[in-house]
Amino acid sequence: MNIKTIGVLTSGGDAPGMNAAVRAVVRTGIFNGLNVLGIKKGYHGLVHGDITEMSLSSVADIIHRGGTTLQTARSKEFMTEEGQRKALNIMEVFGIEGLIVVGGDGSFKGAVELARKGARVIGVPGTIDNDIPFTDYTIGFDTAVNTVVDAIGRIRDTTSSHNRANIIEVMGRNSGCIALHAGLAGGAESIIIPEVRYDIDEVCKRIMQGRNRGKLHSIIVLAEGVGGAFEMARTIEEKINVETRVTILGHVQRGGSPTAFDRIMASRLGARAVELLMEGQTTKMVGFYNNKVHEVDLEKVLAAKKKFPSEMYALAKILSI
């Protein structure tokens, strides 16, 4: 297909590696003779025409930066029929023949709405939560997991004969994916996630068993989708009289220079998104599946639910004895 101008935006919660994806879109586009427009603040900028032409230099020295230089925002206006019309008008005015949306499932829903009204859109999965199906990883997830693992390591350092327990509440919205991966990699004694019912007595038993075996620490990774870190700490103290401290990592998990894995995957997905638009495709997500870049219908992505890796959860239990 003969396409001349494309646009790129980042939307939803920001994630480390979004800049690497945008850089890949811009440079691959320019390499192929396209005009690439950068849309600021996600759909908000699309509705209001907050758009600038990107050059090779616009994306210089951003591959290693956390956050997104294009910024992101939530747009209530874009959720309305009228807002979407405005967005389409803006795309016409700026000559945007294809739009690349880097974001999570909420952002993809918006993209599908635009596609239904005639726009060409490609989604790139960018969210630390790793809750998008048909892609093994989302951009930012690997960085977020490493941030949590670093925090677990620091907490493990600080030991005491009091046999203190520590609860670390981590992000992930309704998904326990960050908690599960970070807990497994960090050697946490318990991992509490929305996908698996938990029993506070088992958590307590694990603490006591560890103590009896001479363990100096007991780390509980708790997904925000379960929540209630402070109440849990109180319950543990009441039940087994073990002093229990709470860490809420919060938005610390959203930042940081992206890992090599996130940068490489983001670069590959961003570049492929441009190629798809050049091939005349639309309403696809570019994912990283079976260690390969592939594409899949966006609507299929929205209809599906990511499979929970129950074998990893089982493994974590065995290894953290």
Which residues, numbered 275-294, are part of the site for a copy of itself (CB under 8 A)? 289-292
Q: Which stretch binds a copy of itself (CB under 8 A): 86-94, 150-158, 193-201, 276-284?
A: 150-158
According to DSSP, the β-strands at 218-223 and 244-248 are unpaired
Answer for the pair 263, 277: CB distance below 8 angstroms, yes or no.
Answer: no
Sole binder of a copy of itself in the list 121, 122, 177, 184 (CB under 8 A): 184
To the nearest whole angstrom, how small is the minimum distance from the Cβ of residue 148 to a copy of itself? 8
**Angle of CA points 187, 126, 273, to nearest 5°:** 135
312 binds a copy of itself (CB under 8 A): yes
Sole binder of a copy of itself in the list 9, 22, 27, 176 (CB under 8 A): 27
Number of residues that bind a copy of itself (CB under 8 A): 82
- Residue closer to a copy of itself by CB (options 122, 180) is 180
205 binds a copy of itself (CB under 8 A): no
Q: Which stretch binds a copy of itself (CB under 8 A): 16-24, 76-84, 118-126, 193-201?
A: 16-24
Which residues are CB-neighbours of 47 under 8 A, at least 6 positions away? 75, 77, 78, 83, 86, 87, 90
Task: Specify the amino acid at residue 66.
Answer: G
- Reduce the DSSP state of residue 110 to 3 states and report it: helix
Q: Which of residues 250-279 bind a copy of itself (CB under 8 A)?
A: 250-257, 259-261, 263-264, 267-268, 271
Q: What is the CA radius of gyration of the chain?
A: 22
136 binds a copy of itself (CB under 8 A): yes
Q: Which of residues 39-68 bind a copy of itself (CB under 8 A)?
A: 41, 44, 56-57, 60-61, 63-68
Q: Which stretch binds a copy of itself (CB under 8 A): 1-9, 111-119, 154-162, 296-304?
A: 154-162
Task: Specify the amino acid at residue 86.
Answer: K
- Residue closer to a copy of itself by CB (options 27, 115) is 27
202 binds a copy of itself (CB under 8 A): no
Q: Which of residues 225-254 bind a copy of itself (CB under 8 A)?
A: 245-254
120 binds a copy of itself (CB under 8 A): no
Nearest to 306 by CA among 102, 138, 103: 138
Q: Which of residues 76-95 bind a copy of itself (CB under 8 A)?
A: none
Written as six digits, the tokens of 43 are 């759909």
CA-CA-CA-CA dihedral for 229, 235, 241, 242, to nearest 10:
-20
Active-site residues: which are they?
129
End-to-end Cα spacing for the chain: 57
Q: Could you tell me the sign of the dihedral formed by the alpha carbons of 100, 102, 103, 105, in that order?
A: positive
Please name the residue that has the structure tokens 């570019």.
286
- Residue closer to a copy of itself by CB (options 160, 241) is 160
